[in-house]
Amino acid sequence: MADSSTVLIVDDEEHLADLFAIWLQEQFEVHVAYSGKDALQLFAEQPIDIVILDRRMPGLSGTEVLQSIRERGHAQQVIMVTAVRPTEELAAIDVDDYLFKPIDRSQLLRTVGAAELVLTYDESLTKLFSLTARKATLETHLDKAELKKDDRYGDLVQRIRELEEQTDTTVRRLESDYQVDMVIRDRRIGSQPVEQF
């Protein structure tokens, strides 16, 4: 992944899409599409990491855009930001997060930041599996005492330790952000606030 994740905002309410872009542009590379058709065109032209997607739009709906993204096998994080209240139907919609409008700047930044962490976590985990498999192969076929004398093996072990720490830290941050978001959402829809531990 690049130094700065690429975010695509898809919303037919142009003023809202532009506002979201202003909020995010300092931390992310941001693109805006005002229709589902324009969003799919952008997907064809460049890699996108995170999608902020309105659910109800004329022409291609957000649900149809989401289906097209998933059918193409893209691994983007998709955050649906919509005025459509969540119902049981949400259980069958393949989104990574669902925010009910109106949302504020801090909530959007926190949610997109968490999505970026998930992408980073996925990359780190893939690399960790790869390095761990190499280490296991070496330890199965070579003398461990000799391996410990080799700087390359030492570097491999050190890299594995670093990735384990990084993934643990990412999981803790995601858990923390998720708890904060749940409290905010519960308060917005009028349920009792969740106690924080």
pLDDT tens, residue by residue, 24-46: 999 999 999 999 999 999 988 98
Distance CA 57, CA 150 (A): 60
Cross-sheet strand order for the sheet of 50-53: 29-33, 6-10, 50-53, 77-82, 97-100
**pLDDT given for residue 39 in this prediction:** 95
Domain encompassing residue 173: 109-188
Structure tokens at 124: 């780190």
User: How large a percentage of the chain has pLDDT more than 70?
Assistant: 83
Check whether residue 99 and residue 38 sit in a common domain: yes
pLDDT at residue 21 is higher than 90: yes
Check whether residue 124 and residue 181 sit in a common domain: yes
Establish if 26 belongs to a structural domain. yes
Check whether residue 91 and residue 19 sit in a common domain: yes
Count of domains in the chain?
A: 2
Check whether residue 118 and residue 135 sit in a common domain: yes
Domain final position from 39, 70, 103:
103
Q: Is 102 left (phi over 0), alpha (psi -120 to 50) or beta?
A: beta
Check whether residue 99 and residue 116 sit in a common domain: no
